[in-house]
A and B are shown apart, each in its own frame.
Chain A
């Protein structure tokens, strides 16, 4: 709109200067720690990079190898399983909890704090505790199972149970944080809707499904997107709970864990970069679809 002016006046230059200066720290940080690595990873995915960053161009060989690699497909499958189990499970639980903690119950603040604790605990520490809970020889979960007359289950050591066991930890760890966000969304809903509904004779459940749920969809959408991306990148819980030596390592390994092992354990950074690029493409595609589909279920009406 300023295009038509013959000269950019002094105050506008000043304004621009300060504008750019103000965002400079952030932009520098982002460039160094986000944009540069993304570009570098993209380049490296076409190089045969080994230990100590030595390597040559190799064209699309990394990608050819990638698509023929059964372990990669298994890791991708595992990642999708994580997403399909964790995201809905977490959404449902945190929505229920948020709705419950929005009601007038005794010790409400205390409960909020308790449910939020996992969110401020370090992931590695959480995983260590769960590792002991799940332990097949000494774990408390197995002690309880045995007391009840069941067989021991080696949760993290068997192919069938390792992945669900990790999912439980992930859900447990993220429910509190998402609950707080949803709670904020729920509290933003105007009381007048509820008052009107109450006058019309709607009960609590009816109010939840007809007022709370539709009105909280923008928040829900935000939580969905962030968690979908986050779950695709699940790493710490898997890395800590199911180490490479475990019998179930292959069946619990997500794409990011496989990326990490290639880059840092097997010194195949070029190949690892290709994995990262594929993962980025998948996440971008799914997020794009989400943004398109949102208009069918997200309610932005005032």
Chain B
């Protein structure tokens, strides 16, 4: 009998807990009327979803600072791996249990805006001291959809060539300089590749943002037309930006595509199997946490026929339109856009977006040539190519390029197929 009563109580408790779980947290000190400026009475739990575990240090420091201002807002971090992040986010958005604040990137922003998942922040911005003019214009525009602003960029990134100085020294090859050319890079890679293939000069990754988008831009091509209505893959310049990578496939100066698919390129770089790696500015924190902390440096991407190009991209903190605690969520988003969080960001190895703070990022890590990322962002950066539903054409793009990289079909044929499928997809948007 006792057991029965206990079970009943438990059930009732569970049910009640389930019902009340999403409501306001019953913080015992909540009702203390000592708050001075009104703002500080905001309380509640704000869940935050993001995809890069290496940003934990930055976020935890931000939470600490944030709680000094808003002690009653509890930030709960929900990290996910990149591959699973979008799957989880979409499922959670559909089910209505998405985090209050979540990271959003360029390729997905239109999809989430059209899905009604993101809350516009224009109203909040009016009463805030955040000035959007102090953030990179391209980044702000990327998240300005249908006349509404959906977030404040807190970081941006460009691409550079990271290299392992130890492997250069061992091979007796001079370090690359910011004004090097593609041909020089290939030549360097040849010299760095060991005969027994225990070290490769570089990694010919099948990666859009890190690799072929950059060469497409440097060659004067485009991925998608400016009006986002047609594909750029049928242009000769675009195809030249792909061809340069495919040309390297036969050379054996890079681990095979199969190897790169199995063991990620950045892992191979940090295991000293690959001497040069095209990779983003976000790599700083991973490098600093590795054994190679003092043996690595970075240069600008090489020029191709005298031109350079790099993809610039940035991430925002979006507020969920289903959030029950938007006020607190906004306070957190606002904080992450302000000076203090941007400086923490710089110190933790990620380029902050706020005007004047990227320089702090450069000076906080003087051992690396990080100025190269700022130079490239200012002088030859191109916005990450997106359309309303990028995922629909990105899939055939990758599938067909895979065939070209494996030398199954030639580049022209692969690119023409991509252009055709992409134009069909864009016509439906």
Binding site for B on A (CB under 8 A): 51-54, 135-138, 154, 156-158, 243, 245-248, 264-267
Q: Are A265 and B87 in contact (CB under 8 A)?
A: yes
* CB-defined contacts of A156 to chain B, threshold 8 Å: 262
- Can you pick out 8 interface pairs between chain A and chain B where the beta carbons lie within 8 Å of each other? A52-B90, A53-B94, A137-B268, A138-B263, A156-B262, A157-B258, A266-B391, A267-B391
A265-B87, A266-B391 as given contacts; A154 in contact with B258, CB under 8 Å: yes
| Alpha-carbon distance between A247 and B402 when the two chains are bound, in angstroms | 8
Grouping DSSP codes into helix (H, G, I), strand (E, B) and loop, the B interface class, with mixed when no group exceeds half, is helix
Contacting residues of chain B (259-275) with chain A, CB-CB under 8 angstroms: 259, 261-263, 268, 273
Contact partner, B87, options A245, A246, A248, A264, Cβ 8 Å:
A264
Of B115, B273, B402, B406, the residue contacting A52 (CB under 8 A) is B115
Q: Is the CB of B259 within 8 A of A136?
A: yes
Contact B391 A136 (CB under 8 A): no
Report the interface size for chain B: residues with CB under 8 A from the other chain.
Answer: 26
**B93 an interface residue at 8 Å Cβ cutoff?**
yes
Selected contact of B90 from candidates A135, A138, A248, A267, CB within 8 Å: A267
A157 lies within 8 A of B90 (CB): no
Binary contact readout B202-236 vs A (1 if CB under 8 angstroms, 0 otherwise): 00000000000000000000000000000000000
A266 to B111: give the CA distance in the assembly, Å. Answer: 12
Chain B 59-86 against A: per-residue CB contact (8 Å), 1 yes, 0 no?
0000000000000000000000001001
- Contacting pair A264 B91 (CB below 8 A): yes
**Interface membership of B199, Cβ < 8 A:** no
Closest 4 CB pairs of A and B: A157-B258, A52-B115, A247-B258, A264-B87
Say yes or no: A246 contacts B90, CB within 8 Å: no
A52:B116 contact, CB within 8 angstroms: yes
Instruction: Kindly state the separation between the CA atoms of A46 and B262 in the bound complex, as whole angstroms.
Output: 38
- State whether A136 and B111 are in contact (beta carbons under 8 Å apart), knowing that A51-B90, A247-B257, A264-B87 are contacts in the complex: no
Q: What residues of chain A lie closer than 8 Å to B391, measured between beta carbons?
A: 266-267
Cβ-defined contact, A154 with B111, below 8 A: no
CB of A245 within 8 A of CB of B90, answer: no
Residue in contact with B262 in the complex, picked from A53, A137, A264, A265, CB distance below 8 Å: A137
Report A29 CB to chain B, min CB distance, Å.
Answer: 14
Query: Within 8 Å of chain A (Cβ to Cβ): is B194?
Result: no
Whether B395 sits at the interface, judged by CB under 8 Å, is: yes
The DSSP consensus for interface residues of chain A is loop
Cross-chain contact A247 with B261 (CB below 8 angstroms) = yes
Assess A52 versus B262: contact at CB under 8 Å? Given A137-B255, A247-B257, A267-B391: no
* CA gap between A270 and B35 in the complex, in Å: 52
Identify which of A52, A137, A154 contacts B94 (C-beta below 8 A). A52
Task: Write out the residue numbers on chain A whose beta carbons fall within 8 Å of the beta carbon of B273.
Answer: 137
Which of chain A's residues have a CB closer than 8 A to the CB of B255? 137
- Distance A54 CA – B406 CA, assembled complex (angstroms): 38
Which of B94, B111, B255, B262 has the most CB atoms of chain A within a 10 A radius of its CB?
A: B262
Closest to B405 in A: A247
- Mark B103-123 against chain A: 1 for CB-CB distance below 8 A, else 0: 000000001000111000000
Report the minimum CB–CB distance from A287 to chain B (whole Å): 30
Q: Are A52 and B117 in contact (CB under 8 A)?
A: yes
Closest to B260 in A: A245
CB-CB contacts below 8 Å: B363-422 with A: 391-392, 395, 402, 406
- A157: chain B residues at CB < 8 Å are 258-259, 261-262
Most buried by B among A52, A243, A265, A266: A52
CB distance from A45 to the nearest CB of B (A): 17
Q: Please determine whether B263 and A135 come into contact, CB atoms closer than 8 angstroms.
A: yes
With both chains docked as a complex, state the minimum distance between the C-beta of A245 and any C-beta of chain B, in angstroms. 5
A156 to B258, CA, bound (A): 9
With a cutoff of 8 Å between Cβ atoms, the chain A residues found around residue B261 in the complex are 157, 243, 245-247
In the bound complex, residues from chain B placing their C-beta under 8 Å from that of A137 are 255, 259, 262-263, 268, 273
Q: Say how far A243's CB is from chain B's closest CB, in angstroms.
A: 7
Q: How far is the CA of A137 from the CA of B402 in the complex (A)?
A: 21
CA A176 – CA B111 in complex, angstroms?
46
Give the complex CA separation of A157 and B256 in angstroms: 10
Q: Which residues of B contact A267 (CB under 8 A)?
A: 90, 111, 391
- With both beta carbons as reference points, the residue of chain B lying nearest to A139 in the complex is identified as B262
Nearest CB on A from B338, distance (A) = 31
A265 to chain B, nearest CB (A): 6
In the assembled complex, which residues on chain B have CB atoms less than 8 Å from the CB atom of A51?
90, 94, 111, 115
